[in-house]
Amino acid sequence: MIACNTRIVAVLSPIVSFHVWGRFEGSRPVALMLIDTGASVSILPRETYETIATCRRSPLVVSDIDIRAGNNSKVLCAGTSDIAFSIEGMPFTHCFYVCKDTTLIILGMDFLTQYSVEMNIAGKTMLLNGRSIRLFDYQGATVNCIDSI
């Protein structure tokens, strides 16, 4: 909702979220990653971190950062780790905040800025390293999409 002088002037429909398929070596073969322009940092669930081969991740470095979810609830952070992964065959290494109480893999503004990602919301694509990557809404992220990775 948008409020102006405490009077409701509009009700917004739910926000559409976009995802990409990624791969972590030594873990589940394909992972759905949320592209979140509202997240300042990238998040990896602790459970996912523990399934990644140790040669594809650095040891956890303790962090005292205060991470808050969109509803302002605190997200418990175990630390940070440099993680190797790929999107459509393009390799990346990125520092993720490893969190204990989340199930989403989030690529936040730190990743989007570091790799100069350009979003095309209407076209449901993002430009990453000069390649157009198809974005999926949650309903569109079906197993049928995995073949293109």
Tell me the domain boundaries of the chain: 21-143
* Lookup: tokens for 112: 């989007």
Quote the pLDDT of residue 26: 64
Interval 9-45: pLDDT, tens: 333 334 568 999 999 876 656 888 999 988 999 999 9
Q: Which residues contact 148 (CB under 8 A, 6 or more apart)?
A: 21, 88, 134
Assess whether pLDDT exceeds 70 at residue 55. yes
Interval 90-142: pLDDT, tens: 999 999 999 998 888 999 999 999 999 999 988 999 999 999 999 988 655 44
User: CA 77 from chain center: how many Å?
Assistant: 15
CATH topology of domain 21-143: Cathepsin D, subunit A; domain 1 (2.40.70)
Q: What is the pTM of this model?
A: 0.80
Q: Pick the closest to residue 88 from 115, 58, 109 (CA basis).
A: 115
